Amino acid sequence: MIVVVTLGNAVLWAVARPPGQPTARYVGEFLGAEAVLLFSISLVLATLLTFIERAFGGLDRVALWHRGVAIAGVLLMVVHPTVAGTTPTTDPSSLALNLGHVAMIGLVLLALWAVAPSLRAARWPGPIQRLARISYERWLTGHRLTGLFVAAAVVHGLLIDPVLAASTVLKVTYLVIGAVGIAAYAYRELVARFVIPVYDYTVTDVQRPNETTVDVFLEPVGRPLAFSPGQFVFLAFGGDNGWQRHPFSVASAPTDQRLEVSIKAVGDYTRDLHDQLQPGTPAKAAGPFGGFDYTHGGHHQVWVAGGMGITPFMSWIRAMDASFDREVWFFYTVNQEAEALYLDEIRTAAAAHPTLHPQLVDSTRDGYLTADTALAGLPAGADPWVYMCGPPGMTSALADGFHQRRIPANRIRWEQFNIR
């Protein structure tokens, strides 16, 4: 749908060109309009609306499209003024031009901030490295300004674009596109919190199995949140620095009113949770979200959990009953065996369900898991479905390996561990 809308806007600009517009300027202004379209789409994708999540097969996939579309918009926006040039009536100190500068600087900075953690520090200048070290919590706060910069870009185009001034069709289309994006941003910031169900919980137990992980158990204060195995929720804990909403996969089974989440200390906020969270802390859970569901797959399946990516698989395992009819080769990869959680419970489940074949992969001892190793135990002629959750580098490398083994893309599903 995104591709169709983007191409449709390009076709409209191709057939609705008003007379008297120089080609370079017209192409440049089209790139600016296309950038606004992509930004508006990214804002719509950020609304957390249920029908969008279902259409993309999970909120993690929505987040990836949101990021990709926004980055594409930034690239077009950067090229736009170079190709379009300036009009004879452009005043260097005008409001329209300054709004364009504000929009470009703000959106470029946010885009660099978003991709900075994935850039290799040795190849990029100091400012990029400093952005990469800024915590997720601060990035998320800054990211909420995106809609304001998009609004500045929309107004900039309306005030300065000579093509829009000469074509009613293109101007109306541009206005509708910009209005949809701004409305989506307003909904996300002002309305969504009152529409998305929020459930009150209390922390009843906190366990710290190692120096970087905290297991949190929460009891509902009133009506419990209903979810499907493999989904995640946005949790906000109370306290002095509390009520920051973060996504966490649920490890408990849907039949258990108590929510269990495992949190790894990787940022300022999660480190504080590991060190300071105590029983009795109030919490709010919003959701559920996600479409990570093995029941959509066939009989032969490969599950791969990396580190904290074990959490949604534990929800699957805890929800198993006598109707479980899949044959699963389950690989749990960790840096060293001491980091592995839930091992006894996984082995107990395997004893109760003989078609669940778990295997712990200690990468220090065994090396990294490969697609060949993961598929080695399957019977000849099996057409497996693959489900993965773990660090992006691991899931991406394994996905490439599974593709090389001719497993269709629609049979390879991974929960995105990092959607920043």
Range name among 38-42, 112-116, 381-385 with the lowest pLDDT average: 112-116
Does the structure show a pLDDT above 50 at 141?
yes
pLDDT band at residue 86 using 50, 70 and 90 as cut-offs: low
Does the structure show a pLDDT above 70 at 364?
yes
Q: Tell me, which fold does domain 198-289 have in CATH?
A: Elongation Factor Tu (Ef-tu); domain 3 (2.40.30)
Does the structure show a pLDDT above 60 at 87?
no
**179-205 pLDDT, tens digit each:** 999 999 999 989 887 888 899 999 999
DSSP code for 189: I
Does the structure show a pLDDT above 60 at 122?
no
- Looking at per-residue pLDDT, the higher value among 225 and 141 belongs to 225
**According to the model, what pLDDT value does residue 39 have?**
95
- Compute the distance between CA of residue 384 and CA of residue 57 in angstroms, rounded to an integer: 19
Share of the chain above pLDDT 70, in %: 90
Average pLDDT along the chain? 87
Q: What is the pTM of this model?
A: 0.78
Q: Parse the chain into domains and list their residue ranges.
A: 2-195, 198-289, 297-416
DSSP code for 117: G
What architecture is domain 297-416?
3-Layer(aba) Sandwich (3.40)
- Compute the distance between CA of residue 347 and CA of residue 314 in angstroms, rounded to an integer: 12
Parallel/antiparallel/unpaired status of strands 232-237 and 213-220: unpaired
pLDDT band at residue 347 using 50, 70 and 90 as cut-offs: very high
Mean pLDDT of 296-314: 93
Beta partners for residue 412, in sequence order: 386
List CB contacts of 384: < 8 A, sequence separation 6 or more.
Answer: 298, 300, 301, 302, 375, 378, 407, 411
**According to the model, what pLDDT value does residue 278 have?**
92
Does the structure show a pLDDT above 90 at 312?
yes
Hey, do 198-289 and 297-416 end up sharing a CATH topology, with the first three levels equal? no
